[in-house]
Chain A
Amino acid sequence: METSTVNNNFKSEEYFINMGPQHPATHGVLRLLLTIDGETIKKVEPDLGYIHRSIEKMCERDSYQQIVHLTDRMDYLSSNINNEAVCLAVENALQIEVPDRVKVIRTIIGELTRIASHNLWWGVMGMDVGALTTYFYAFRDREMINDIFEETCGARLTMNYNIPGGLMFDIHPNFVKRVKEFIAHFKTKLPEYDTLLTNNVIFQKRMRGVGMLSKEDAISYGASGPVGRGSGYSCDVRKLHPYSALDKVTFNEALRTEGDSFARYEVRIQEMWESMSIVEQLIDNIPEGDYKVETNAVIKLPKGEFYQKVETARGELGVYIISTGTKNPYRLKFRSPGFSNLSLLNHIAVGGKIGDLVASMATLDLVIPDIDR
């Protein structure tokens, strides 16, 4: 590590600073122990545990239907996709084939959730680099998705819409109409995001060449989602192991090879376009049929180990269930995307300035309850 000594008479000294757990840029209760020399970051140590709720332990106590509700509280911005992960795991273990209608609706809801999540990320991304207006632009569009969810399942954040065997309710009669309205609206508004932030010269200077992550490092750190794909690591679970109705649609995996903050930014912007295209392909022909298959009131998984992974807005979420044949899992482990992505932070932030740390951290799109569980 090079020292910032201008000449030999000038002595520089490292100092230590606590960033968080209450800090605007850590997006929750993450504490970063920074070692800094002037403005240059020497070391970043994330300190977790401020929002630990022992969700995995609680899962051992709960029935499978109840576990679904806990997953909302992990990555609350991809709550529908988290729900889906547990439901798919349970359905695969029970070998239930859900109706096509359920599959299509799950995919539509999942992609809408992804758009909403990336939307919020884009808003706070702007705030983290000092452009405060982005937040309100993002929320204007995110509200429309939340309204759709509210109408369909009564919730705006913690949805609980998926249950093992299908959906809790059928979609609202307005659902198709409103989703189409949203897509039409968002197609005109997403280019605004580029004119406001992406094409801004200051923003590009802040993002390009900052927070470099090579493909090898991305893989060895277990990066997934837009963080991995920004480094050219093709890791989209939707492509590699399609679930629900994702095998019926065509979409491009957003991939960049630069590996800097701007690449991760571009991946998410492109993913919003791709998600819109997925929703468009499915929304016009939602198959008729039941919205769920009846399961036993008490679900007992067969003895064994079951793994299901899905692509949340942040990356690969894995659900690993060990069942002993009772109504509760013996052990349930979530492989959360945020945890692996956070472990990268030291790697990409060292050598940069404090401003770079904040910008790089924003492109990792951390949701702390997802990391801490």
Chain B
Amino acid sequence: MNLSLSITKNIHDWLFNMMPETAASLTEMTLIATVYLAVFAVTGLFLVLLERKVAAWFQLRLGPNRVGPWGLLQTMADALKLVSKELTGTVNADKFLYNLAPYFVIITALMALAVLPFSGEFQAFDINIGIFFLIAISSIGVIGILLAGWSSNNKFALIGAMRSGVQTISYELSVGLSLLTVILITGTLQLSEIVEVQRNGWLIVQGHIPAIFAFMIYMISGTAETNRAPFDLVEAESELGAGFHTEYSGMKFAYFFLAEFINMFIIASIATTIFFGAWLSPFGITESLPWLGVFWFLGKTLVLVFLMMWFRWTFPRLRIDQLLTLEWKYLLPLNLMNLVLMAIIVWLNLTIQF
């Protein structure tokens, strides 16, 4: 019996013995939600620190190194500062929407985490339309950004929000289609089954040429989805100040900030799950130790997160019309052709299986 599975099973049994079924289910859900919330708040903070460190390595600097060993507690301290800060707002803002916006962004970011298969056992919510759920949830986040920009009564914020709307709606197509390309091999949308299919080789290997194309398109459009450089027009510092969150302060700003990093983690996690076999170890080298799956998953995800950080600290920003040209004139047609190519490959059984 697996250790982690036995612990969760024990808790499950204990709860169901102690109280009626409905109450036990509710308690369980609350517990899991709390654990997720805690774990991913820390993950977000860690990613912020990682980004600052990575940026420093790229930029001939040391990065945060004062708070805690190797600067590890820096973002904790930043978060504490942000919590204690006054929440300022504009006088003529639409108060209700203004206050609602950050929660939209952070809640959608956290919801997407529920379906990710961190290991064979560690997956909160294994629904049969997992991929669909991920794409659907990740596109709700943009509403929060639009609300923030619209309600702040600030023209810079409004421009940022409109850019965000245009950008996210465009690049959603590419994200969806590139994932769809690979889904053709698996024939299922359920994430746990997609992982099982990859026991015969990661999908990027199984699907070879079209899968590699799909991965590249996915990483480009995924970066655009998270509004990170070179697609950070939404908060283009040199053009719009801080973009849609110009008027936010304190913890509300922190929600936007944290959501960006969690979204980046999600985009990388999806890529890991779909293209790189999620928690499966390469060639099954740690098959006998399933709990190592979490580390494989996080390891692969962090490599992809690093890739996205690499983009950010090397590339200049695109202009808004170039951004749309890239999507509608290049990525989308390429994606559709890629989809057909993949269909042919699956039809003729040309996939590489180990």
Contacts and interface: CB of A to CB of B under 8 A. Distances in A.
B155 A15 contact: yes
B54 to A, nearest CB: 11
Q: In terms of DSSP, what is the predominant structure of the interface of chain A?
A: helix
B239 interface: yes
Contact of A200 (B163, B232, B233, B315): B315
A202 B320 CA distance: 12
Nearest to B323: A355
Interface in A197-235: 197, 200, 202-203, 205-206
Given A133-B313, A203-B316, A128 B238 contact: yes
A133 B59 contact: yes
A15 B159 CA distance: 11
12 contacts: A17-B155, A17-B156, A39-B163, A39-B321, A129-B316, A130-B315, A135-B59, A136-B61, A205-B318, A206-B322, A354-B159, A356-B319
Contact of B60 (A15, A126, A140, A203): A140
A140 B59 CA distance: 10
A118 B238 CA distance: 19
B50 interface: no
A206 B318 contact: yes
B230 interface: yes
A200 B316 CA distance: 8
Contacts of A24: 237-238, 241
Interface in A117-137: 126-133, 135-137
A17 B246 CA distance: 15
B247 to A, nearest CB: 15
A206 B61 contact: no
A136 to B, nearest CB: 4
A356 B318 CA distance: 10
Given A130-B237, A200-B315, 10 more contacts: A129-B238, A130-B317, A131-B316, A132-B55, A135-B59, A137-B59, A202-B316, A205-B322, A206-B322, A354-B159
Nearest to B317: A130
B58 interface: yes
Contacts of B237: 24, 127, 130
Interface string A93-131: 000000000000000000000000000000000111111
B320 A39 contact: yes
Interface of A: 15, 17, 23-25, 39, 126-133, 135-137, 140, 196-197, 200, 202-203, 205-206, 353-356, 358
A39 B230 contact: no
Contacts of B229: 130, 132
B159 A202 contact: no
A356 to B, nearest CB: 7
Contacts of B58: 133
B238 A127 contact: yes
B314 A355 contact: no
A39 B319 CA distance: 10
Contacts of A127: 237-238
Q: Which 7 A-B pairs have the closest CB atoms?
A: A130-B317, A136-B59, A131-B316, A129-B316, A355-B319, A25-B238, A128-B238
Contacts of B163: 39
A353 B319 CA distance: 8
A277 to B, nearest CB: 26
Contacts of B240: 354
A355 B59 contact: no
A137 B318 CA distance: 21
B147 interface: no
B236 interface: yes
Contacts of A135: 59
Of B59, B238, B322, most A-chain CB atoms within 10 Å:
B238
A75 B189 CA distance: 62
A17 to B, nearest CB: 5
Contacts of B241: 23-24
Contacts of B238: 24-25, 127-130, 358
Interface in B297-354: 313-322
Nearest to B61: A136
A200 B313 CA distance: 13
B60 A137 contact: yes
Contacts of B236: 130, 355
A196 B320 CA distance: 22
Contacts of B239: 25, 354-355, 358
Contacts of A17: 155-156
A286 to B, nearest CB: 32
A196 B310 CA distance: 13
Of A126, A137, A202, most B-chain CB atoms within 10 Å:
A202
Contacts of A137: 59-60
A202 B60 contact: no
Given A25-B238, A133-B313, A140-B60, A206 B155 contact: no
Interface in B222-275: 229-230, 232-233, 236-241
Contact of B313 (A15, A25, A39, A132): A132
Of B315, B318, B321, most A-chain CB atoms within 10 Å:
B315
